[in-house]
């Protein structure tokens, strides 16, 4: 029997805002820890804690039976995509100001809007497509293509890493929409945490002794490859909060994209931009340059326009007998 997708835009929006706030705290904590611990150790610790919370949510939402799936391949692909998205973003975060890394990552909702057409069959008309192009213009501006690589504070590749993270994140969320027809958000979160654990253990077995970090001056590569070390006592609460955040993020975003169309939910992820600016200013006394400010304005403006067009489409009276074109 065919299952019908849920369509609850208000709940989807509420979940995505909660998830984005938790992500902003997560990013702030990881950047705070990036100078002392390797990324795969942070991921292992937070995912192990997050898995415990996710399993508790599984019990609440229906018990162990909801973990059963007939699409293990898609779950594996979804897990790999979210691992790639996280790893590439966090490696960039170690070298970039948090606001700049977050702003570059926010091409993700634009990717989601574009890819929702071929992957989910959603309708995105010329007006929304135009707004998406404006948003991509903001991302291009923040890449500062007029500057040579030597004039940038970080290698050009580091500036591109959040964009790669955004693309893989967008693909993951669209897969969530497909898988979410038949699975609870807590079950999706368990699969996600399990993939993080598996990848981080693999990193530990290959590079956990730090031998590949020897002689490396790159901040990003040091964060990725340095040796595991036992956390200092003041850092344990940060790891615990990271683990709790991991469970909350995975649950909220899975629930958001199960409950509403991707093109409706995605623009609300822009709430993360002012949050990133806030954390950067409060903790590291960082304020974005004019390119980042202008790029963020273009991205947020494009996202709000996309949302308003989508809201107008859903409010049109059914008796008109015509489908909205945008």
- Please write the tens of the pLDDT for every residue from 2-55: 444 567 888 888 998 999 999 899 999 999 999 899 999 999 988 888 888 889
Tell me the mean pLDDT in the region 129-157: 81
Per DSSP, 268 falls in state: G
Q: What rounded mean pLDDT belongs to the chain?
A: 82
Q: Whole-model pTM?
A: 0.80
Q: What are phi and psi of 92, to 5 degrees?
A: -70, -40
Only one residue has tokens 């007006």, namely 127
Q: What is the pLDDT of residues 300-323, one digit of tens each?
A: 888 777 767 766 655 443 333 333
Asked whether residue 180 carries a pLDDT value surpassing 90, the answer given is: no
Q: Are 287 and 88 spatial neighbours (Cβ–Cβ below 8 Å)?
A: no
More confident residue, 44 or 249: 44
Q: How confident is the model at residue 258 (pLDDT cuts 50, 70, 90)?
A: confident
272-276 CB contacts, 8 Å cutoff, 24+ apart: 272/20, 272/21, 272/23, 272/24, 272/102, 272/106, 273/99, 273/102, 273/103, 273/106, 273/299, 273/300, 275/20, 275/21, 275/24, 276/24, 276/27, 276/98, 276/99, 276/101, 276/102, 276/103
More confident residue, 325 or 164: 164
Residue 166 is encoded by which pair of tokens?
């955004």
Of 255, 262, 265, nearest in space to 57 by CA: 255
Q: Are 176 and 253 spatial neighbours (Cβ–Cβ below 8 Å)?
A: yes
Asked whether residue 230 carries a pLDDT value surpassing 80, the answer given is: yes
d(CA 99, CA 219): 17
Q: How confident is the model at residue 263 (pLDDT cuts 50, 70, 90)?
A: low
């Amino acid at each position: 029997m065919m299952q019908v997708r849920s369509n609850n835009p208000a709940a989807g929006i509420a979940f995505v805002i909660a998830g984005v706030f938790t992500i902003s705290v997560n990013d702030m904590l990881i950047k705070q820890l990036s100078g002392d611990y390797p990324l795969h150790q942070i991921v292992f610790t937070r995912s192990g804690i997050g898995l415990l919370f996710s399993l508790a949510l599984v019990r609440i939402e229906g018990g162990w039976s909801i973990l059963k799936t007939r699409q293990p391949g898609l779950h594996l692909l979804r897990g790999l995509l979210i691992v790639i998205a996280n790893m590439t973003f966090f490696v960039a975060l170690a070298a970039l100001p948090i606001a700049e890394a977050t702003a570059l990552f926010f091409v993700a909702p634009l990717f989601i809007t574009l890819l929702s057409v071929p992957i989910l069959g959603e309708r995105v008309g010329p007006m929304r497509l135009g707004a998406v192009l404006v948003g991509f213009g903001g991302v291009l501006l923040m890449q500062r293509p007029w500057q040579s690589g030597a004039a940038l504070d970080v290698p050009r590749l580091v500036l591109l890493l959040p964009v790669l993270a955004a693309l893989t994140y967008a693909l993951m969320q669209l897969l969530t929409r497909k898988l979410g027809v038949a699975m609870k958000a807590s079950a999706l979160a368990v699969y996600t945490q399990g993939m993080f654990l598996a990848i981080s253990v693999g990193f530990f077995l290959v590079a956990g002794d730090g031998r590949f970090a020897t002689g490396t001056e790159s901040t990003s590569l040091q964060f990725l490859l340095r040796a595991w070390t036992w956390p200092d006592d003041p850092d344990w609460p940060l790891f615990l909060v990271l683990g709790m955040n991991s469970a909350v993020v995975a649950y909220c975003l899975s629930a958001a994209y199960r409950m509403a169309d991707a093109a409706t939910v995605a623009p609300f992820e822009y709430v993360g931009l002012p949050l990133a600016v806030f954390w950067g200013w409060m903790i590291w006394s960082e304020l974005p340059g004019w390119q980042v400010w202008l790029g963020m304005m273009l991205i947020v403006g494009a996202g709000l326009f996309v949302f308003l067009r989508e809201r107008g489409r859903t409010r049109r009276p059914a008796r008109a007998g015509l489908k909205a074109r945008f």
